[in-house]
Structure 1
Amino acid sequence: MSDGPTYGFDTLQIHAGARPDPATGARQTPIYQTTAYVFRDADHAAALFNLQEVGYIYSRLTNPTVAVLQERIATLEGGVGAVCCSSGHAAQIMALFPLMGPGRNVVASTRLYGGTVTQFSQSIKRFGWSAKFVDTDDLEAVKAAIDDDTRAIFCESIANPGGYVTDIRALADLADAAGIPLIVDNTSATPYLCRPIEQGATLVVHSTTKYLTGNGTVTGGAIVDSGRFDWSANDKFPSLSEAEPAYHGLKFHETFGPLAFTFHGIAVGLRDLGMTMNPQGAHYTLMGIETLSLRMQRHVENAEKIAAWLEKDDRVDYVTYAGLPSSPYHDRVKAQYPKGAGALFTFAVKGGYDACVKLVNALEIFSHVANLGDTRSLIIHSASTTHRQLTPEQQQAAGAGPNVVRVSIGIEDADDLIADLDQALAKASA
């Protein structure tokens, strides 16, 4: 889309980054299913490899279909650029890769997806990195956890599995004071409900597998760069501020300014880590984003109705949905998430672990899967699946205790979903 008018979200989710195909006039973005691209001549090839010209070299790095998706997600999030990759987990590593080094740490929320907790507490140790897990509602604890080796703060806007909402602005202030970036996983909220960059985040990551695609067909990830962080303000981020040997001493921040992180993600991250998104996956996600606002409105509407019904049910101990008036996060939702608290939350079933298993097995419309953000309503018992690798203490901190199930409310008829939960709860409590 051309510069000029400021378009609304519903327009941008369909048009941002996309133009009719110049070769055929195709209105929908084509799937450029190719590994390589012909150079005009030797000088053109050299300029591309030297990062002196922007273009397509090899699909591990860049692809026209993926490029449209990158521009669309960046536009919806209010960033200057984005890098798409193979999964949400890949996006997290890609986000940390230019920032970290042996002996460095990231301060991370205790309320994270179980796979992220495992990635941060176990897998990143193999790079010589570490994570400090802190309750991000305790700002003093966050501040105390930051030390000279801390290179980022990491949180989720709406936490998986409990649906807790984060005070992004408060964490951004702490990150700014420490001279480090705030990274926000915005998967559960999407840019329709929350735009972390507007609240001070430096980087936003997504599992595009979830709400952005919305149909449970492909995996993918994205890192969005706000373009606002001064990578040269101190010596903490040499990958971005100092000479890069692989590009004859080029300094990414000096050369690319606000787009330094984005260019590094492609020219170094994708080049060396190879966590590439395939063009067909990008195409599915582009089609999903076209209806994002419509789906999120229905997701939230259904979630509010179902959470209210569950809260009143005697077979349920508690519901964690932040959109409920009884939630301790309700005022934060109204102030920072005015379009709603998403559609992901947990509820505790009286009868504990065994009752949760019976409930999951008895449901007919809800699908028992390890995913969220689908048009279909989904359920999982986190303690025995996605958070199984965690200690009991970590499970409780993440909101995934043995008596809890996580639901991702879809866009079906809410009354049908309530009826399904009702019959399953009856069997679980029998």
Structure 2
Amino acid sequence: MTALDARVRDEQAVAEPELGFETRQVHAGAIIDAEAGARITPIYQSAGYVFESFDDGVERFAGRSARRAYSRNDNPTNVVAARRIADLEGGLDGVLVASGQAAIAAALGALAEAGDHILAADRLYEGTREMVRGLLRRQGLEFETLPIDSDEEAWVRAVRPTTRAIYAESIANPLGEVADLDLLGRVSARTGVPLVVDNTVATPYLNRPIEHGAAIVIHSTSKWLGGHGSAIGGAIVDGGFDWDPERFPHLHAARPHGAPSWAERFGRGAYGAYLRSVVVLEQGPTLPPQSAFLLLHGIETLSLRMERHVENAHAVIDALRGHPAIARIHHPSLDADRAEVVARMLPRGAGSVVSLDLAGGREAARAFLDRLELVSQMTHIGDVRTLAIHTGSTIHGKLDEAERLALGVTPGLVRLSIGIERADDIVADLRQALEGLER
């Protein structure tokens, strides 16, 4: 064994499948540094890795060696974080990228090309919608949306020969509509079109889309997975799928130098291999290893934080329900029309994004936000700190009023991301900021 071999053992899933979520969030996918004995995954701050010989370099670049060639798509710190997220989601493998937006672009880019069709639920994060109607449309992708509560047959009828993905958020941002992933999973199975789910708001602690039929799961790791708001990042998890050669010929096409196709070599994991070895390698949306290191530390406490996030969200809802300044509170737990779907999809709780529709409109929102003391006014969610933003003038600010109202974004809508502070302190700050804002 060479010194390089001794430096780091191959990645290993330390956690066994039968171990609980709380154990796996600490141990899954860990690298053991054999030389230094470090138990914490180190930051591997290196652009590349030394070849043992000429032939070793050839084998690495041909993909015939398990050893890594370059950090653009194969940094050890990043690999550990990606595999840990994949383990928690129940996937085959994962890849980290530079942001949640990069994750969406890379995930869809590995499925579709110009002229292809993406079918999506109509309730999506505005940043996703902006990319869909802008950059991705200019690159030749066609997007169609259906109401999130459409029935199974409506989804099946909307699938075309050119459809390459069905796309949804498990919990939509900012109003908290919950997708019926069981229904969408059945549509995927019937049509051969993979279900892609953005699971950022729910996290794998509250919902695991692969268990409901999703083929691919996306995260903005900057949010609850990291939790501390100190590093931007994104993740894509390959859940495995039977890749139809007619819909996805690029996964079945012959590769250079007689190499087997992605599907021949990796089977149901062909997508993840193609994503890492082609899309991420060629486009280069690389996450810095320092960010992956911070992400790993966040993941270790995910279950504890999510329990507190959910508990605090309900405390806020209970405290503000019926307040004269609030016309409506948005949270999945309050959606009576889809209560059965919410209970089935989110048995551990429905997340911690709570949106307040202030009866006094934009000026009431301005007064409320500027009075906040403990709660931070900023554009972010999933932080340990409670955050607030007026979405109509910021995130949805590029839309006209009719477009905002069609999405349920009223002039007085304020999105709260409830943190893990003492619930009484959060409530007290919200209450004092609401004082005098009557209907």
TM-score band, normalised by the shorter chain? Answer: over 0.9
- Contact 2:88–2:204 (CA under 8 A) maintained in structure 1: yes
Superposition deviation, residue 90 in structure 1: 0.4
Counterpart Cα distance in 1 of 2:170 and 2:421 = 25
Superposition deviation, residue 397 in structure 1: 4.1
Superposition deviation, residue 380 in structure 1: 0.7
| 2:182 is the alignment partner of 1:169 | yes
- Post-superposition Cα deviations, 1:25-60, rounded to whole Å, max 9, x if no partner, equal 101110000101001112221111111122211111
5 Å matches for 1:121-270?
121-139=133-151, 140-227=153-240, 229-231=241-243, 233-245=244-256, 250-270=260-280
| 2:23 is the alignment partner of 1:23 | no
Q: TM-score, normalised by structure 2?
A: 0.93
What amino acid does structure 2 have at the position aligned with 1:352?
G
- Post-superposition Cα deviations, 1:355-383, rounded to whole Å, max 9, x if no partner, equal 11211111111111111000000111111
Q: Which moved more, 1:69-78 or 1:102-111?
A: 102-111
What amino acid does structure 2 have at the position aligned with 1:31?
I
- Contact 2:245–2:251 (CA under 8 A) maintained in structure 1: no
Counterpart Cα distance in 2 of 1:226 and 1:5 = 15
5 Å matches for 1:68-147?
68-139=80-151, 140-147=153-160
What amino acid does structure 2 have at the position aligned with 1:44?
D
Counterpart Cα distance in 1 of 2:88 and 2:406 = 32
- Post-superposition Cα deviations, 1:116-158, rounded to whole Å, max 9, x if no partner, equal 0011111101211121122121125433432222111111001
- Post-superposition Cα deviations, 1:43-97, rounded to whole Å, max 9, x if no partner, equal 2211111111222111112101001001100000000000110000000011111
- Contact 2:227–2:383 (CA under 8 A) maintained in structure 1: yes
Counterpart Cα distance in 1 of 2:437 and 2:323 = 13
Return the match for 1:306 from 309, 316, 322.
316
- Contact 2:15–2:29 (CA under 8 A) maintained in structure 1: no
Counterpart Cα distance in 2 of 1:175 and 1:419 = 46
* 2:6 aligned residue: none
Superposition deviation, residue 336 in structure 1: 2.0
Q: Which runs of 5+ in 2 are unaligned?
A: 1-12
Counterpart Cα distance in 2 of 1:3 and 1:426 = 50
**What secondary structure is seen at the aligned counterpart in 2 of 1:137?**
coil
Q: Which runs of 5+ in 1 are unaligned?
A: none
Change (3 A) 1:345 1:329: farther
Counterpart Cα distance in 1 of 2:362 and 2:157 = 36
- Contact 1:118–1:390 (CA under 8 A) maintained in structure 2: no
- Contact 1:153–1:181 (CA under 8 A) maintained in structure 2: yes
**What secondary structure is seen at the aligned counterpart in 2 of 1:328?**
helix
- Contact 1:359–1:427 (CA under 8 A) maintained in structure 2: no
- Contact 1:163–1:344 (CA under 8 A) maintained in structure 2: yes
Superposition deviation, residue 164 in structure 1: 1.6
Counterpart Cα distance in 2 of 1:317 and 1:389 = 24
Superposition deviation, residue 330 in structure 1: 2.8
Counterpart Cα distance in 1 of 2:318 and 2:21 = 29
- Contact 2:81–2:292 (CA under 8 A) maintained in structure 1: yes
What amino acid does structure 1 have at the position aligned with 2:58?
A
**What secondary structure is seen at the aligned counterpart in 1 of 2:388?**
strand
Superposition deviation, residue 310 in structure 1: 2.0
**What secondary structure is seen at the aligned counterpart in 2 of 1:266?**
helix
Superposition deviation, residue 408 in structure 1: 0.5
Return the match for 1:366 from 375, 381, 388.
375
- Report 1 or 2 for greater relative contact order, CA contacts < 8 Å, sequence distance ≥ 6: 1
- Contact 1:212–1:288 (CA under 8 A) maintained in structure 2: yes
- Contact 1:378–1:409 (CA under 8 A) maintained in structure 2: yes
Counterpart Cα distance in 2 of 1:63 and 1:332 = 39
- Contact 1:306–1:418 (CA under 8 A) maintained in structure 2: yes
**What secondary structure is seen at the aligned counterpart in 2 of 1:172?**
helix
- Post-superposition Cα deviations, 1:373-425, rounded to whole Å, max 9, x if no partner, equal 00000111111111222343442343322221111100011111111111111
**What secondary structure is seen at the aligned counterpart in 1 of 2:282?**
helix
Q: Which moved more, 1:88-97 or 1:392-401?
A: 392-401
- Contact 2:14–2:29 (CA under 8 A) maintained in structure 1: no
* 2:4 aligned residue: none
* 1:56 aligned residue: 68
* 2:10 aligned residue: none
- Contact 2:219–2:236 (CA under 8 A) maintained in structure 1: yes
Q: TM-score, normalised by structure 1?
A: 0.95
Return the match for 2:281 from 247, 271, 274.
271
Return the match for 1:42 from 54, 60, 69.
54
Return the match for 1:321 from 312, 331, 335.
331
Counterpart Cα distance in 1 of 2:158 and 2:17 = 44
- Post-superposition Cα deviations, 1:103-125, rounded to whole Å, max 9, x if no partner, equal 11111122111100011111101
Counterpart Cα distance in 2 of 1:396 and 1:381 = 14
- Contact 1:382–1:404 (CA under 8 A) maintained in structure 2: yes
Superposition deviation, residue 354 in structure 1: 1.4
Counterpart Cα distance in 1 of 2:414 and 2:105 = 28
**What secondary structure is seen at the aligned counterpart in 2 of 1:48?**
helix
- Contact 2:95–2:235 (CA under 8 A) maintained in structure 1: yes
- Contact 1:97–1:269 (CA under 8 A) maintained in structure 2: yes
**What secondary structure is seen at the aligned counterpart in 1 of 2:37?**
coil
Q: Which moved more, 1:260-269 or 1:28-37?
A: 260-269
What amino acid does structure 1 have at the position aligned with 2:20?
G
Counterpart Cα distance in 1 of 2:343 and 2:403 = 29
- Contact 1:157–1:186 (CA under 8 A) maintained in structure 2: yes
User: How many residues of Structure 1 are paired with residues of Structure 2 in the alignment?
Assistant: 426
Counterpart Cα distance in 2 of 1:205 and 1:108 = 14
Change (3 A) 1:257 1:122: same
